[in-house]
């Protein structure tokens, strides 16, 4: 009575609930039941029928699923007989099986009839189930008024979460009077410690549903519901701390609440956390966690997540997974996410998940450039025009696109743009400009830039003082799997300036071994087609 009195004082509700949470936590630590909505457990508990065999079915830990109850004709006859004799728990259990089709043929009309008989006999779980049937048209026509009637009866009998069902129906019906009734029922559910009702009260105050808007009260109820584990309330608090709405902005607390919401299944929280785990932003970096959340978002139809899941698959070392990259890139692109066009171009160029088609590769790279733009887009077009990938070789277009990409800080474009100036591809030869871009590429860790800068360093080009010793030392550090660098090392160590016969032979052997591996790889690919 004292608690209920506190509830009627308005915001005291949250204070009482917060105090109660500590008690629940203490009970959990002592091994006691920590579920505040105890009545909700009634429906999940196994029924105990009079027949010893069926009781043993429930007690056997290897046979926990309900369908095991009907694993034999004998058991089906026994529970049917008990239901026919008026055993309401048997009616309820048989109705669930008929509704789901587990263990017995699916028959929603029979399920509805059984729920109705048990509900009219006063069985609380059946009252709630009957309300659900009327609400969703299971075995009968939809009738929201009758659904409300049975939800209310279940609530009056002590099923706390039935208040939520009734309130949501009033809210669905709309209108000022119905919204006020919804608010009142949510409040009654909150007084019975139903977290979803406490969250709903916060939502009512936030949006003015059946009550005047009050953002401060909304935040109080949401915080209380979040402390009780309501996932949507956790999501609300995460956004509040992220944006500094009704609370002081706190990124760490935001991530904490997002994590709680994600662990409870909130997809929006998972989508928010995925890039955090990918980049180690505010959380420990975990690519498996990032991929798992991206994939879940992809499966739920989020185009951004579909593209990110495809990125992970495209970079996988397993051939059994890379084919999925094309599938998700296509899904994302078809949903209107044009950034996936780059991935589709790469799939068609490399033959990932789809037959290789360079014309299609160029088509999607062009779509990507025209819709998304950015340095990477112009770099890909420059590469296509330079090498004739799906289009004619057009040196002028290659240079123009590489220059656009470099001006947009695309590091991949620095080395090829430097080569344009070095070789006069689409522009006048300019060794100083070439050296500048090779240096930029080298500083960015691009092997192609390191290689070209080393050549300029060896010969003293582009106003770079000649230093052959430093040039070969630089090449050796970046020669692994770089055929051009190996060739240059063989050439330079055979030259009089840094002549070294032993090293020349060493790099010639490495070069020959590399060429042999490449030849075997090409032969294997040809045999597999």
- pTM of the entire structure? 0.71
With CA atoms as reference, report the closest residue to 238 among 247, 304, 293, 286.
Answer: 247
Residue-wise pLDDT for 434-469, tens only, equals 999 999 999 998 999 999 999 999 999 999 999 999
Question: Does some domain include residue 200?
Answer: no
Instruction: Pick the last residue of a domain from 142, 159, 176.
Output: 159
Q: Torsion-angle region of residue 460: left (phi > 0), alpha (psi -120 to 50) or beta?
A: left
pLDDT at position 160 is 83
Per-residue pLDDT band for 57 (boundaries 50, 70, 90) equals very low
pLDDT at residue 141 greater than cutoff 90: yes
Q: Tokens at residue 279, please?
A: 């980049």
State the CB neighbour count (10 A cutoff) for residue 41. Answer: 10
Q: Any idea what DSSP says for residue 47?
A: P
pLDDT at position 313 is 93
For 368, the 3-state DSSP assignment is helix
Per-residue pLDDT band for 528 (boundaries 50, 70, 90) equals low
Alpha carbons 520 and 528: distance in angstroms, whole number: 12
pLDDT at position 527 is 54
Residue-wise pLDDT for 376-432, tens only, equals 999 999 999 999 999 999 999 999 999 999 999 999 999 999 999 999 999 999 999
Instruction: Pick the last residue of a domain from 104, 124, 159.
Output: 159
Residue-wise pLDDT for 303-314, tens only, equals 999 999 999 999
CA atoms within 13 A on the CB side of 223: 20
pLDDT at residue 12 greater than cutoff 80: no
**Rounded (10°) angle between helices 340-350 and 358-371:** 160
pLDDT at position 113 is 95
Per-residue pLDDT band for 316 (boundaries 50, 70, 90) equals confident
pLDDT at position 244 is 92
pLDDT at residue 107 greater than cutoff 50: yes
Residue-wise pLDDT for 290-303, tens only, equals 999 999 999 999 99
Average pLDDT of the residues in 6-11: 42
Would you say 454 and 474 are in contact if contact means Cβ atoms under 8 Å apart?
yes
Residue-wise pLDDT for 473-515, tens only, equals 999 988 888 899 999 999 999 987 889 999 999 999 999 999 9
Tell me: do 352 and 468 sit in the same domain: yes
Instruction: Pick the last residue of a domain from 113, 133, 159.
Output: 159
Per-residue pLDDT band for 240 (boundaries 50, 70, 90) equals very high
* CATH number of domain containing 101: 1.25.40.10
Print the domain residue range for 510: 480-523
Q: Tokens at residue 451, please?
A: 């290689």
Tell me: do 439 and 517 sit in the same domain: no
Tell me: do 488 and 508 sit in the same domain: yes
State the CB neighbour count (10 A cutoff) for residue 529. Answer: 6
Alpha carbons 388 and 433: distance in angstroms, whole number: 25
Tell me: do 473 and 512 sit in the same domain: no
pLDDT at position 1 is 33
Alpha carbons 170 and 180: distance in angstroms, whole number: 9
Question: Does some domain include residue 463?
Answer: yes
pLDDT at residue 28 greater than cutoff 70: no
Question: Does some domain include residue 145?
Answer: yes
Question: Does some domain include residue 205?
Answer: no
pLDDT at position 122 is 93
pLDDT at residue 71 greater than cutoff 70: no
Per-residue pLDDT band for 153 (boundaries 50, 70, 90) equals very high
pLDDT at residue 83 greater than cutoff 90: no
More confident residue, 522 or 401: 401
In 300-446, alpha helices (H): 303-314, 319-334, 340-350, 358-371, 375-387, 395-407, 414-423, 431-443
Alpha carbons 493 and 503: distance in angstroms, whole number: 7
Tell me: do 392 and 496 sit in the same domain: no
Tell me: do 443 and 310 sit in the same domain: yes
Per-residue pLDDT band for 54 (boundaries 50, 70, 90) equals very low
Question: Does some domain include residue 212?
Answer: no
pLDDT at residue 128 greater than cutoff 80: yes
pLDDT at residue 95 greater than cutoff 60: yes
Alpha carbons 226 and 254: distance in angstroms, whole number: 12
Average pLDDT of the residues in 257-261: 95
Q: Tally the domains of the chain.
A: 3
Question: Does some domain include residue 437?
Answer: yes
Question: Does some domain include residue 259?
Answer: no
Tell me: do 430 and 506 sit in the same domain: no
More confident residue, 359 or 155: 359
Per-residue pLDDT band for 70 (boundaries 50, 70, 90) equals low
Tell me: do 498 and 410 sit in the same domain: no
pLDDT at residue 39 greater than cutoff 50: no
Average pLDDT of the residues in 123-149: 94
Q: Which of 62-66, 237-241, 347-351, 376-380 has the lowest mean pLDDT?
A: 62-66
Mean pLDDT of the residues in the chain: 85
pLDDT at position 100 is 87
Tell me: do 322 and 470 sit in the same domain: yes
């Amino acid at each position: 009575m004292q608690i209920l009195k506190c509830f009627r004082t308005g915001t005291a509700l949250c204070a009482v609930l917060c105090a109660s949470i500590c008690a629940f936590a203490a009970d959990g630590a002592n091994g006691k039941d920590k579920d505040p909505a105890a009545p909700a457990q009634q429906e999940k508990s196994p029924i105990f029928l009079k027949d010893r065999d069926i009781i043993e079915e429930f007690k056997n830990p290897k046979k926990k699923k309900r369908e095991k109850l009907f694993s034999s004709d004998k058991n089906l006859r026994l529970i049917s007989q008990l239901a026919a004799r008026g055993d309401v728990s048997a009616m309820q259990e048989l109705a669930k099986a008929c509704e789901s089709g587990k263990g017995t043929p699916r028959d929603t009309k029979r399920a509805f009839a059984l729920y109705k008989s048990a509900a009219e006999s006063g069985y609380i779980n059946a009252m709630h189930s009957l309300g659900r049937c009327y609400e969703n048209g299971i075995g009968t026509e939809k009738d929201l008024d009758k659904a409300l009637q049975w939800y209310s009866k279940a609530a009056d009998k002590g099923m706390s979460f039935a208040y939520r069902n009734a309130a949501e129906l009033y809210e669905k019906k709309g209108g000022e009077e119905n919204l006020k009734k919804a608010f009142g029922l949510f409040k009654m559910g909150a007084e019975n410690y139903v977290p979803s009702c406490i969250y709903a009260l916060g939502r009512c105050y936030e949006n003015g549903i059946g009550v005047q808007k009050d953002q401060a009260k909304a935040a109080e109820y949401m915080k209380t519901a979040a402390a009780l584990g309501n996932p949507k309330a956790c999501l609300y608090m995460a956004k509040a701390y992220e944006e500094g709405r009704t609370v002081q902005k706190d990124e760490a607390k935001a991530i904490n609440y997002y994590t709680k919401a994600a662990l409870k299944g909130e997809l929006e929280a998972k989508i928010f956390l995925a890039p955090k785990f990918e980049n180690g932003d505010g959380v420990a970096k975990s690519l498996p966690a990032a991929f798992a959340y991206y994939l879940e978002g992809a499966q739920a139809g989020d185009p951004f997540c579909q593209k990110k899941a495809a990125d992970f698959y495209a970079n996988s070392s397993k051939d059994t997974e890379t084919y999925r990259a094309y599938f998700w890139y296509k899904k994302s692109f078809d949903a209107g996410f044009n950034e996936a066009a780059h991935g589709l171009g790469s799939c068609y160029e490399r033959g990932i998940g789809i037959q290789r088609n360079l014309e299609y590769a160029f088509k999607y790279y062009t779509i990507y450039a025209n819709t998304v733009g950015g340095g990477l887009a112009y770099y890909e077009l420059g590469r296509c025009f330079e090498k004739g990938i799906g289009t004619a070789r057009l040196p002028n277009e290659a240079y123009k696109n590489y220059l656009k990409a470099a001006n947009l800080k695309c590091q991949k474009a620095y080395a090829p743009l430097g080569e344009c100036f070095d070789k006069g591809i689409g522009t006048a030869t300019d060794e100083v400009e070439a050296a500048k871009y090779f240096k930029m590429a080298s500083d960015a860790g691009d092997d192609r830039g390191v290689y070209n800068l080393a050549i300029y360093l060896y010969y003293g080009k582009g106003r770079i003082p000649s230093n052959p010793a430093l040039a070969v030392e630089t090449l050796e550090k970046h020669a692994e799997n770089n055929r051009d660098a190996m060739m240059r090392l063989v050439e330079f160590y055979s030259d009089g300036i840094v002549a070294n016969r032993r090293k020349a032979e060493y790099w010639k052997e490495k070069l020959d071994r590399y060429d042999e591996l490449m030849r075997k790889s090409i032969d294997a690919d040809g045999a597999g087609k």
